Each structure stands twice: as C-alpha cells, then as structure tokens.
Amino acid sequence: MNLNERTLTLKQKFELGKNTLIEDSRVEISFFQFDQIFGRKEIQTTQEWLKVPDFCSSSDDGIPENEHFLYPVFHQKNFRSKECILLLHGLNERSWEKYLCWAEYLTLQTGKPVLLFPIAFHMNRCPSFWTDPRWVMPWLRKKKEKEDSPTLTFANFALSDRLLRQPFRFYVSGKETILNLCQLGREIRTGKHPFFEKDTRFDIFAYSIGALLSEVLLQADVKNLFSESRLFMFCGGALFNEMNGDSRMIMDRNTFRAMKDYYQHGFIQRCDQSGEADRLERSFTNMIDLSVGKKEREAFFLRSLDRIRAISLKKDLVMTTPGIINALGPECAKTCLKEMDFDYDYSHEIPFPSAAKTDESLVTQAFEQIFISAASFLN
C-alpha cells in the first residue's frame, strides 16, 4: 500500500451523506444521523451567554449544524455489529480527509466497524461560511490590523477568534461532545441504533485533542458506558498546560496564551470555589495541571493499565512525550507509553506528510507501524 495514493483514492470516493462501497477493499462507508438530546438544555443554557465573535452572526446555541449532523461508519459487511471503534480527531479539523485511510486500515485489520465522531463545532458540525475564504479573509485582515499575532491564519481564524472571545468555549464544547458520546453509547447499548447490536462494546482510537477528550470521558464515565473500553492514543494525552496549541493549523499565539492563562488560573479557581464540580468537570480539571488532582488522576491510570496504550512522536511540539508522561504518571507511562520517531520531516499536525520531497515508502512504513500497533491493541 502507498499511503498517499490510498488517501487520494478514498478522498475521491468519500462524500458526506452518500453511502459508498470501496470496491477494492470491500469496506463500506455508511452514514447515520445524530440529533442531540441528552444534556441539550444544559449545554444551550451555557452557550446562550458565551460572547458571539464578530464574524459569526449567531450564538453557539443557534447553530443547527452542531446539533443535527451526520457521522460516517467504516465497516466490512452490512450487518449489526457487536463491537465498535470510536475514532476521535484533533483540534480545528474541518475535513475527514486524513482520517479516511486510518479508518479503513483499522476496519480491515480488526474486522470491527470504525465510527468517526465529530467534536462539537468541528468537521460538518459548523456553518460552511467558517471555512469560506470570501467570508473569512476580510475578517482575518481586519483582525491582523489590530493584533500582532504571527501564527494567525485563514486555517485557524474561526477557532482562534471564538476561543479568544471566550476561552470557556473549549470546555463547553468538550463537555457537549462527551454528552453526545454518552447519548450515542446509550442508544447503541440499548439496541436503538440501526447498525449495532444491543450491549455493543466500545473501544477508542484518539488522536491529538481527541485523546484528552477520551481521558476525561473514561475518568468521568458519566453514564457508566465506558468502564471496559480500551483507549489507544496517538500524538495525544498530555496535560492541558503542557500542550502547545500555538500553530498556524490549530490556533494563533494570542489565543493560545489566553487559553493557558484562563485554564491554569480562572477555571481551576472557579472549580475550587464551587466545591461541587460534577464528575465530568472534575475529570477535566484533573487533566489541566500536574499539581491538580494528581493523586486521583494517577490512581485512575494505574487502575486502567491494561486498557490504555499511547504512542508519542519525538519531534511532536504540540503534544510532547514529557507532557503525556506527566498526565499518565511515570509508573503508568512505563507500561502504556511508547515514543517513536520517523526518518522523515513530520509534525504533530501532519504525521504522515504527502510532500514531494518525502520518501513515500518511509511514510507508508511509519503509518503501518502505528496502525498495526493500534489494531493489535484494539482487536
């Protein structure tokens, strides 16, 4: 297999909402509708008072694409399955393109369906004009005239502007996604999903910020749906304050600094003062700083040694290996974490590049190393 060629092939075949059979692998892509119900009123009440950025005409609770959307499932046969791998993506993602080969490969190697679930306000859960150059560029130019932020780009403008206006959005969107996953899990477990059988088992492949979301999901386990789930993390799982989101593809420098300041200080103090943080909020707070909730966090990961694995990359500047070790705890990390490196130029955002100067055989080899390990663990 050539990873770049396979990605291009799948990109040409993938169309949101169109069920497709990939003839040469016999993998099918089926789409299912999600309508947000569980926790909807709670989330909407919070979203109502979040400050609306200038480029967006409606508040977060007034964006229908975020509450009603399609998600794809990769599978080999059209039958009701008893197992499922949830694939969770990274921050500021607007396209499933790079994940198509990931999902197909996991499906083929494990024989299990892979469900690609979009994080709130990501992928197809946001208005199309957020990624429309004709709409975004005037706002981007205006913002650059007012602010000195060298990493502000068209690619990260929408996320940066929304989070800079209200850093609390990051937590609210993560909470919304976890409540969505709980709703989805409950629908599947009770046999209400058209594709999965009752009492289906969920495992998770999580990349980048999807790994942090998964760690919070498993620790909180709001509806006791994920107590047996296995989690494989790739380029993710670091403590929040040890992540570096300052990236032309993720968020700009000013936003990243505002985010770190808010969550290291305001958010933690808010939780300390309330003394009544729910399980989800407490689990997220435990993942912010090394000194906060350390005993509880490390105890959870030690109890979960057999169901968590992680691969970090040596040259990853966004999710560093030390940051992941500090999240898991050194004892857990010895068993669960492996650092790897590739013989080509890569980054956190693009671990498997398609640049002309990159040896495609090396990229494919690296991809297979990662995903054979993931499939073996999740099988």
CA 224, CA 277: separation in Å to the nearest integer?
A: 18
CA 351, CA 89: separation in Å to the nearest integer?
A: 13
Q: With 90 as the cut, is the pLDDT of residue 78 above it? A: no
Token duo for residue 253: 């420098």
In this prediction, residue 350 carries a pLDDT of: 95
In this prediction, residue 273 carries a pLDDT of: 44
* Segment 338-373, tens digit of pLDDT: 999 999 999 999 999 987 778 999 999 999 999 999
CA 96, CA 101: separation in Å to the nearest integer?
A: 10
pTM of the complete model: 0.96
Locate the domains of the chain by residue range: 3-378
CB 177 within 8 A of CB 317: no
In this prediction, residue 276 carries a pLDDT of: 44
Residue 297: CB atoms within 10 A of its CB come to: 23
Torsion of CA 99, 227, 68, 107, to 10 degrees: 30
Mean pLDDT of 96-123: 97
Q: Give the bridge partners for 33, in sequence order.
A: 70
Q: Which residue has the higher pLDDT, 271 or 251?
A: 251
In this prediction, residue 277 carries a pLDDT of: 55
* Segment 26-67, tens digit of pLDDT: 999 999 999 999 999 999 999 998 999 999 888 999 999 999
Specify the 3-state DSSP secondary structure of 55: coil
Specify the 3-state DSSP secondary structure of 204: strand
Q: Sorting pLDDT into bands at 50, 70 and 90, what band is 271? A: low
Pair type for strands 68-75 and 27-35 = antiparallel
* Segment 200-213, tens digit of pLDDT: 999 999 999 999 99
Tell me the pLDDT of the chain averaged across its residues.
94
CB 308 within 8 A of CB 230: yes
Return the percentage of the chain with pLDDT > 70, whole number.
Answer: 97
* Segment 280-311, tens digit of pLDDT: 999 999 999 999 999 999 999 999 999 999 99
In this prediction, residue 272 carries a pLDDT of: 52
Q: How many CA atoms lie within 13 A of 287 on its CB side?
A: 28
Residue type, position 80, single letter: R
| Sequence-ordered alpha helix ranges (H) in the chain | 3-13, 40-47, 64-67, 97-110, 133-146, 157-165, 168-189, 209-220, 253-261, 268-274, 279-285, 294-303, 321-328, 330-336, 360-378
Q: 252 φ, ψ to 5°?
A: -80, 170
CA 257, CA 236: separation in Å to the nearest integer?
A: 20
The architecture (CATH level 2) of 3-378 comes to: 3-Layer(aba) Sandwich (3.40)
**Contacts (Cβ under 8 Å, ≥6 apart) of 313:** 235, 339, 340, 341, 342, 346, 348, 351
Q: Give the bridge partners for 115, in sequence order.
A: 73, 86
Specify the 3-state DSSP secondary structure of 285: helix
Q: With 90 as the cut, is the pLDDT of residue 274 above it? A: no
